[in-house]
Structure 1
């Protein structure tokens, strides 16, 4: 008997079905049965199901002679199931990588309960990924979790023993069994990890098609409320769900809302438990059966939101106007402070990268320089204790920008500042360019996201110096950021100094802080972002990778900062450590015995350490076409490729299993790569920059 039976009903889903089925076949946990039920679909869905069944013996295709609906199709899947747990997956959704392993671990840890609820995320046809909004924490109400078939694992003998079943016809067919499973389970557990990606379709999906079919939600809740002895517990969630449908314009047309309200009010009267108090004004109107009162409440809430938004916009606009006026006055009247330097990094995200290393070196070598960082209010908690900072857009920010002699940034300062005569601007950049940058991006519009290249050039004209870690960068910056205003500063990257100056004891301490045990080797997995991908979705089953490396390894997972502070690895694997939120990527590189990356500029910095680098590039052609690159990273030519290369997950696992990730050949490639891209790095870059900028008369440039 398999651990899981994954049941997928299929009707008019030929454009989505392959991706759905592949998401199951690609799971690291392999003890499963996949049942695809062709609900007499008129498109190629049945043929796709048959193809996968022929390809893998764990896949079974079931064909219904006539269309019966999604509920009946799922029921046919249940009848064919032999697994210990039933999982239902809609054919236009996908299982996220590592989902089945995480579900298996959670079930085992909870003693194999009747029901396990797990989280999901949501995406639309623009690939915008959002959290589910469900709370699956230890104190959560499981009845408030989205009542769907696809976000829970149910023990098969519990399902059949309780006679759980989907409605045979109509939408909201999973409301009754989803709620009954929670209400009747003797043991229930939750997994606060997204395991399913729910995809909202632009056309053809129920969620985006308004109509009177959505009235069925009232009938479904009437059925489940009438059939449970625990109606008091379910009633608040039932009312909330029905009102959500009523208020959702994508499901309920304006002309249909009065009738749906009337049905909802009748549901409320028939099943309201004794002593129940309405939760808010919406429910008060529903309890009174007054559509007029409900509309009045809606208008009041809408007006309140509108007025609040207008006031907020007005205050923000007025504040900005006042700040800019004061700034213009400071530009005319305030004197430059010859000892004041203002720093910024990654669009005001904190104290990091080259600006942080320069600031630290200036404290030692040029202590007369007063350094101040610019940070956004969202990231001020990231500022280390003792580092002065100003909040972007504040009065102090504009005063600092008007009076600082030195401006140091690895991206750009906010708000459109005006550079004064006598100010010196050092652009440090924040990586070595593999992907196309600056004006070269014009040939790749998919990655520009509305960039104004006129503003790019205006910003470039403010620079006095452009920092480089290697000749390649110098040459690229000169061409893609053309301006006679600045000079190249070929002094190395200050952030890389630590790779030459950190001792073994310090590295050992870093490993301990990250949770790496003595004797364990650490592999840092640090992919970059894709302009064509929203959210962190690794092209690697991380749990499978960790298993392949063995107990003497841990995997440090570093998602790109564009995706937030977490990689979403909640309870994923005991040897996976999410280090996305760690403030210093340099610490992670120092702690790692090897690097696996794709196109991230971290590879150029990591090369300073002379440790194995593996390029895992499963979408190389797509990346080159979407963003463009300056050289062929996968060519195998000395200077272009930093080490071993894999383009599939199996190839990557084989590199580590067979020892091919670190050989004499990869060592030669790494040396050539280091010679090309670490040419100016030697541990003294920060001091060289400080002396050039603050001590050698640079202000006269």
Structure 2
């Protein structure tokens, strides 16, 4: 008997089926049975299923003689399933890496409940990934979560005992068993981690096909409300789901809406519990059976939203014009403040990187210079106490930009400022370039995202200084940001000073704060952003990695800041610590005994510590083709490769099992890498920059 039976119905999904099945075969958790049910598909789906049975004995293909529908196909899979838990996966969706391990851990931790609900994310034909919108980590009633077959693991014996079944035909076939599983489970647990990627198809999928077939949602919820269960609890959920379909133009065309409304009103009259009060004006119209009242409410709400949005846009435009006009006046009339410096980092995300280190050093070495950071309103809570700041676009922001003598940024200032005579602009950058940058990006359009290279050059022409941590950076910046307006400052990266000056006691305190136990070895896993991948999707089964390292290790996971403040681990493993939202990556480097990364510039900073660096690059060729690189990170040549290299998960695990991650050979590679890329870093970069910029040193 397997732990899981994963059931995949297949009908006209030949373009997606391989990806779906590969997502199961690629799981690190190996105790599963995969059942592919060919619902008499007229395309190659059946042949693909047969191919996978030959590839792996855990795969079983079931062929139906005639098409019966997705519900019947799933039921056919259930009949031959032998796993302890049933998992249903649509053939155009996929399990996310590490999903089965995470589900297994959650089930075991909950004592093998009847039902485990887990989260999912969503993608479309543009590969744009979004969250599910479900809140499994909060106090949400599980009945209100997405009622789908594919976001829950159900104990097979419980499924049989309760007589759970999908509708024999028609859409919304999983509504009744999905809700009944929640209502009737004696034990239920949740896993707030995305385990499934749900795909919205441009054509062929139910969600993208409008029509009267969506009327089936009324029938399904009518069946649910007529059966056993807590009607008081189910009724508002049912009404809300039906009205969501009614209001969704991608499912219900305008011509079909009056009829679906009539069916919704009948459902409401037939099953409304005694004492139930309509939750909103929308339901009041349904309770009254008045389609005109429903339309009127829609128009009223739509008008309110439209007017509100228009007023907000108009107010924003007017405010922007007023601020810009005042700024232009300040440029002409306000005098420069010789002791004011404006700082910015990572497109106004907070106080960090080289600008933060320069600001801190200026407070010590040039205290007459008043510093103020530019932050967006979304990130002002990240500003440490005692650090002055202005909100981007505000009157104070434009006043500071017009009057400050010094401008310091690692990216760019917002709003299109005009540098005036007498101002001094230091571009600190925020990493040593491995990937192509600036004008070199023109040959790699996947990473440009509509960049105006004319604006890039106009911005470059405002720089007075360009900061470098090594000769490689100086040479690259000079070519890809060509301008005679600025001079290179080969003084090192101020943000790296702490890597040389922090004492052992301070490092121990950082480790304790992060939750690293005494005697544990900390591995920092910090992959970079990929222009061809939406959302944080690590190419590494983190749970498997943590298990393989053992109890004396802890893994710090740092997702790229483009993906938000969390990596989405949600307590999947006791030795996986999500540090994506940690304010200072330098502290994470200090806390880590080794770094595992792919193409992130953190490798160049971490090299200052002279600790092991492991390059895990499973998609190196794709990355080089999509973005371009300045040297071959995997060549093994001194100066190019910082240490051990793995291109598969198995190779990475083997490096830690046989000691290859830290050997005399990798030590020699690391020394050459440090010599090339840490040439100007020694712990005194910030003071050198402050003396040069503020003290005419």
TM-score range, shorter chain: over 0.9
Shift of 1:333: 1.0
Distance of 1:311 and 1:427 partners within structure 2: 38
Shift of 1:229: 4.1
Pairing of 1:121-520 with structure 2 (within 5 A): 121-137=121-137, 139-520=139-520
Shift of 1:619: 0.8
Shift of 1:110: 2.1
Shift of 1:90: 0.7
Does the CA-based 8 Å contact 2:354-2:410 persist in structure 1? yes
* Equivalent residue, structure 2, for 1:641: 641
Residue by residue over 1:453-511, the C-alpha shift from the partner in whole angstroms, topping out at 9 and shown as x without a partner, is: 11111100000000000111101100110101000000011111111111111111111
Shift of 1:138: 5.0
Does the CA-based 8 Å contact 1:98-1:572 persist in structure 2? no
Residue by residue over 1:407-441, the C-alpha shift from the partner in whole angstroms, topping out at 9 and shown as x without a partner, is: 00000001111111110000000001111100111
Does the CA-based 8 Å contact 1:18-1:48 persist in structure 2? yes
* Equivalent residue, structure 2, for 1:11: 11
* Equivalent residue, structure 1, for 2:620: 620
Distance of 2:106 and 2:231 partners within structure 1: 29
SS of 2:147's equivalent?
Answer: coil
Pairing of 1:532-681 with structure 2 (within 5 A): 532-681=532-681
SS of 1:467's equivalent?
Answer: strand
Distance of 2:245 and 2:449 partners within structure 1: 34
Moved more, 131-140 or 550-559: 131-140
Distance 1:502 1:229, change over 3 A: closer
Shift of 1:212: 0.6
Shift of 1:139: 2.3
Shift of 1:270: 0.8
Does the CA-based 8 Å contact 1:120-1:151 persist in structure 2? yes
Shift of 1:29: 2.1
* Equivalent residue, structure 2, for 1:39: 39
Distance of 2:574 and 2:559 partners within structure 1: 18
Distance of 1:536 and 1:450 partners within structure 2: 22
Residue by residue over 1:39-74, the C-alpha shift from the partner in whole angstroms, topping out at 9 and shown as x without a partner, is: 121222222222222222222111222221111110
* Equivalent residue, structure 1, for 2:87: 87
Shift of 1:127: 1.4
SS of 1:111's equivalent?
Answer: coil
Distance of 1:676 and 1:193 partners within structure 2: 41
Shift of 1:109: 2.3
Does the CA-based 8 Å contact 1:102-1:571 persist in structure 2? no
SS of 2:589's equivalent?
Answer: helix
Shift of 1:197: 1.1
Shift of 1:38: 1.3
SS of 1:182's equivalent?
Answer: helix
SS of 2:62's equivalent?
Answer: strand
Does the CA-based 8 Å contact 2:102-2:543 persist in structure 1? no
Distance of 2:479 and 2:573 partners within structure 1: 46
Distance of 2:137 and 2:353 partners within structure 1: 36
SS of 1:414's equivalent?
Answer: coil
Moved more, 132-141 or 383-392: 132-141
Shift of 1:235: 0.5
Does the CA-based 8 Å contact 1:115-1:182 persist in structure 2? yes
Does the CA-based 8 Å contact 1:118-1:152 persist in structure 2? yes
Distance of 2:66 and 2:52 partners within structure 1: 22
Shift of 1:192: 1.7
SS of 1:221's equivalent?
Answer: helix
Distance of 1:52 and 1:548 partners within structure 2: 28
Distance of 1:602 and 1:459 partners within structure 2: 25
SS of 1:633's equivalent?
Answer: coil
Distance of 2:160 and 2:637 partners within structure 1: 61
SS of 1:456's equivalent?
Answer: helix
Does the CA-based 8 Å contact 2:281-2:297 persist in structure 1? yes
Distance of 2:334 and 2:176 partners within structure 1: 70
Distance of 1:257 and 1:422 partners within structure 2: 65
Superposition misfits of 4+ residues, deviation over 6 angstroms: none
Does the CA-based 8 Å contact 2:106-2:572 persist in structure 1? no
Distance of 1:401 and 1:77 partners within structure 2: 66
SS of 2:405's equivalent?
Answer: strand
Distance of 1:694 and 1:205 partners within structure 2: 62
Does the CA-based 8 Å contact 2:115-2:153 persist in structure 1? yes
SS of 2:34's equivalent?
Answer: strand
Moved more, 51-60 or 594-603: 51-60
SS of 2:60's equivalent?
Answer: strand
Distance of 1:179 and 1:336 partners within structure 2: 66
Distance of 2:628 and 2:85 partners within structure 1: 46
Residue by residue over 1:488-541, the C-alpha shift from the partner in whole angstroms, topping out at 9 and shown as x without a partner, is: 000011111111111111111111111110111011100000111111000110
Distance of 1:318 and 1:264 partners within structure 2: 44
Distance of 1:450 and 1:283 partners within structure 2: 44
**Aligned residue pairs, count:** 697
